[in-house]
Chains A and B, each alone.
Chain A
Amino acid sequence: MSNTVALSIENLRFAYQGKLALDDVSFTINASDFTFLLGPNGAGKSTLFALITRLYDCREGKIALNGFDIKQQTRKALATLGIVFQQTTLDVDLTVQQNLHYHAALYGMSRKLAKSRIQEELERLAMFERRSEKVAKLNGGHKRRVEIARALLHKPSILLLDEPTVGLDVQSRVAIVEYIHYLTAHEQLAVLWASHLLDEIYSTDQVLVMHKGKIKAKGHREQIVAMTQTKDINTAFAQLTQGELS
């Protein structure tokens, strides 16, 4: 594990329409860390993602990506970030490579560089052969793979994934979880993976349990189980979120 801090969140508070959505949230993620953000629906995971990506403005607290403050050095911070949103953000009328070229253009990549990076990322996910197909023709798992390839195109050092495996079949889920873990281990990528699917957690992962806008527990899976004096992560999670397992 590297000690380079990739993402740092300090005392983050955020209210939405008078309701506190995030309350004093603090944590850090180092390079090569796979951090699993666990929480029931409405726990504040999507709000946290919107603040990290600066779709929302953080008024209280601090967010830094690779040392760049998201408010002061927004563009530098965002340039180091790759994102896979919960809902698909691919243009279904365009082909796989057209979608990726669009992303490459937004990140200022030349056509030549984009072409080689697209090939590289799609080949790693076994999607290169399907580059000329329209996204509308792909199944859910393949669309997700394309979105992951796209998020990695500009070589970010932090990857955010918001419930990336929801709605996918078991095989696709396992493949995606394994691939992202491979990236943290071999390419020093820092990952923040939001989910409520407990079987996706590896024993080496950092786990953050979030409930009602607060971080209820931090640590490895076994540490959280020990801390809550429960038999497994499912019961630990149920206890920490007061039975609101979804």
Chain B
Amino acid sequence: MSLTHYMRAMLGIIGRELWRFITQRERFISALVRPLVWLFVFAAGFRAALGLAIAPPYDTYILYEVYITPGLCGMIQLFNGMQSSLSMVYDREMGSMRLLMVAPLPRWFLLLSKLLAGTGVSILQVYVFLLIAYMYEIEAPWQGYFLLLPALMLTGLMLGALGLLLSSFIKQLENFAGVMNFVIFPMFFMSTALYPLWKLKESSKILYALASYNPFSQAVELIRFALYGQLNHYALAYTLVTFILFSSIAIVGYSPSKGMMARKGIG
């Protein structure tokens, strides 16, 4: 198996995923509607209720819409990560997952390529969302839009790996509604996506602790700082470590002798 083989396979997997996403217009629109509703409706309504002090990476007072934007970028990736990984197992994608698993390449490589493909799709969504936000006058420094790319890559991989991990181990989560209630919503609400950590600390110590250790919070912070041209080292390390952890467990979950493949029926 040559390096060219690996490259061709990876490009094939990524290309297929991107093409599917572009051609599925409903999926593209629904992926954008969710964060836009949060931005235009929720954030606009909350603007008056929530006062934000100046805190890094911001060097001035900001509107709530500005604060929430990186969190919504994270939200896009969170939904995308869960959706692509879970549909892979439970929906009609099960067949194509089988096809992928029998390709003559190491399984870890195939799963990583699949993760990269999902991340690519989520990055596209985030940039389209940011473009619309820009037109709504939520502007970040121009260099931030470039620095954001590697950050989104890592956060997308981490959230995709989490989805993959869940899909390989949790048998009960047969549908997306279950994942919404037990994973996406708790992760999203117990994070810094909607309110800063210090605000949470004022209301509940437990919530504060949960939000601090929530990998989604760190992903959002990595995105937030990158968008303003800064690097949050702690968030970077935290996201990197959780990505390695989640993807390692997911790979074990997809190995032929353990996890999903050994426990689920063949059909």
Chain A residues near B (Cβ < 8 Å): 16-17, 46-47, 49-50, 53-57, 59, 74-76, 78-79, 81, 83, 85-94, 98, 101-110
Residues of B within 8 A of A81 (CB): 102
Q: Which residues of B contact A83 (CB under 8 A)?
A: 102
- B204 interface residue (CB < 8 Å to A): no
Asked whether, in the complex, the Cβ of A94 is within 8 Å of the Cβ of B16, the reply is: yes
Q: How far is the CB of B95 from chain A (nearest CB, A)?
A: 4
Which B residues are CB-close (under 8 A) to A75?
1, 104-106
Q: Which among B4, B13, B15, B16 has the greatest number of chain A C-beta atoms within 10 A?
A: B16
Binds A, one of B42-50, B74-82, B190-198, B256-264: B256-264
Q: How near does chain A come to B169, taking the closest CB pair, in angstroms?
A: 16
What's the interface size class on B, roughly?
Answer: 35 or more
Q: Given known contacts A78-B103, A87-B267, is B8 in contact with A109 (CB within 8 Å)?
A: yes
In the complex formed, the residue of A with least CB distance to B101 is: A55
Interface residues of B in 1-60 (CB under 8 A from A): 1-2, 4-6, 8-9, 11-13, 15-16, 19-20, 23-24
Asked if B207 lies at the interface with its beta carbon under 8 angstroms from chain A, I say no
Q: A93 is contacted by which of B12, B20, B95, B104 (Cβ under 8 Å)?
A: B20
Cβ-based interface call for B100 (8 A): yes
**19 further contact pairs, Cβ within 8 A, besides A94-B20, A108-B2, A109-B8:** A17-B263, A54-B256, A55-B256, A75-B106, A78-B102, A78-B103, A78-B104, A81-B102, A85-B95, A85-B99, A92-B92, A93-B24, A94-B19, A102-B12, A106-B9, A106-B103, A107-B5, A107-B104, A108-B104
27 pairs across A/B with beta carbons < 8 Å? A16-B265, A17-B263, A49-B266, A54-B256, A55-B98, A55-B101, A55-B102, A55-B266, A56-B256, A56-B262, A59-B257, A74-B104, A76-B104, A83-B102, A85-B98, A87-B95, A89-B98, A90-B95, A94-B20, A102-B12, A102-B16, A105-B8, A105-B12, A106-B99, A107-B103, A108-B5, A109-B8
What residues of B have a CB within 8 angstroms of the CB of A101 in the complex? 12
A59 to B101, CA, bound (A): 19
Once the chains bind, are B256 and A57 in contact (CB under 8 Å)? yes
